[in-house]
Amino acid sequence: MRVVLTAWGSRGDVEPLAALAVALREVGAEAVVCVPPEPDFEALLKRADVPMVPLGPSARSVVTAPKPSSGHPAFELAPRLVAARFETLGAVAQGADAIVATGLMPAGARDVADKLGLRYVLACFHLGGIPSQHFPPGARPGTPSPAGETDRRVLWEHDAQRVNELYGSALNSQRAAIGLPPVANVRDYVFTDHPWLAADPTLCPSKGMTDLDVVQTGAWILRDDRPLPDELQEFLEAGEPPVYVGFGRHCSRGSRRSCTTAARVRRPRPREPACHSSSYH
């Protein structure tokens, strides 16, 4: 079995894919990871002995690029990423069995899977971007919702429209070029009805929280057996092992609840430091 794993974003999007690739290898499957050409990602995947294929521009180059004189930079980035996914995944996924996509709205990944007759899965690491009646959508470039609108169903419809504004034209142009019909709702097409949630079920419970039938797999954590720096090792040996809970570079709406839950989790046995990290899709 051969699986193509892909993401465009930060380390929080890439490292879980490295962990999944290692787990797939342990059960006899082959995995290749298509992510931005960042030196840090190359080093990470080399350490995990996972093959990497560059996809799209580096995230660093996008973040540090001069801002356009008009409009939001996302409207320039979105079509670039769509084209990169069609080109890169269209080549790498030949002969594969499945594509697993995550990171910044992976428009283009499912389309390639459909064209090649492969299984496709959308994976996420939190619930924030999945339609739900429990919370409104996050901010996204595009036409804003009317001031004062509070109906969450309406707000999520507006969110889908903004995704179409960002990706719809580029995606459907690429689809037409390979003989596929247009997609009317890009966000829902990318998400599917059964996205995977790669997050700890205690810290991020999903049952009844979204409008979709989420499949919760648990967190994908890459084991790291490298020796710790001497100063850190001395700190750990000086007292009871601490518990570290990390939420990457973003804060979520539920971060306070998650931190409270984490603080109540039973401490690990002595000399077994525990680390749980959560990244954001």
Clarify whether residues 212 and 243 are in a common domain. Answer: no
Task: Say what the pLDDT of residue 243 is.
Answer: 75
Collapsing DSSP states into helix, strand and coil, what is residue 213? coil
Determine the Cα–Cα distance for residues 92 and 108; give it in Å rounded to an integer.
13
Clarify whether residues 135 and 254 are in a common domain. Answer: no
Each of the 281 residues of the chain gets a pLDDT tens digit; together they read 999 999 999 999 999 999 999 999 999 999 999 999 999 999 999 999 999 999 999 999 998 988 887 889 999 999 999 999 999 999 999 999 999 999 999 999 999 999 999 999 999 999 999 999 999 999 999 999 999 999 999 999 999 999 999 999 999 999 999 999 999 999 999 999 999 999 999 989 999 999 999 999 999 999 988 898 999 889 888 988 777 776 665 555 556 666 677 666 555 444 333 333 443 33
Q: Is residue 221 part of a domain?
A: no
Helices (H), the chain: 11-26, 39-47, 59-64, 74-92, 109-116, 152-163, 169-177, 186-191, 230-237, 255-264
CA angle 249, 74, 127 (to 5 degrees): 45
Clarify whether residues 106 and 143 are in a common domain. Answer: yes
Q: Is residue 254 part of a domain?
A: yes
Element of type H or E holding 133: none
Could you tell me if 108 and 13 are in contact, meaning their C-beta atoms sit under 8 angstroms apart?
A: no
Determine the Cα–Cα distance for residues 6 and 82; give it in Å rounded to an integer.
13
Clarify whether residues 197 and 254 are in a common domain. Answer: no
For residue 269, the enclosing domain spans 230-277
Task: Say what the pLDDT of residue 213 is.
Answer: 96
Residue 45 is classified by DSSP as: H
Clarify whether residues 186 and 272 are in a common domain. Answer: no
Task: Say what the pLDDT of residue 70 is.
Answer: 81
Collapsing DSSP states into helix, strand and coil, what is residue 52? strand
Dihedral of CA atoms 66, 69, 71, 111 in degrees, nearest 10, equals -50
Residue 81 tokens read as 């990423």
Clarify whether residues 205 and 242 are in a common domain. Answer: no
Task: Say what the pLDDT of residue 229 is.
Answer: 93
Q: Is residue 224 part of a domain?
A: no
Task: Say what the pLDDT of residue 248 is.
Answer: 61
Clarify whether residues 142 and 253 are in a common domain. Answer: no
Name the domain count of the chain: 2
Q: Is residue 225 part of a domain?
A: no
Task: Say what the pLDDT of residue 269 is.
Answer: 46
Output the CA–CA distances (angstroms, integers) from residue 268 to 54, 198, 259, in the order listed. 39, 22, 17
What sign for the dihedral angle of Cα 43, 45, 46, 51?
Answer: negative
Nearest to 157 by CA among 177, 133, 182: 133
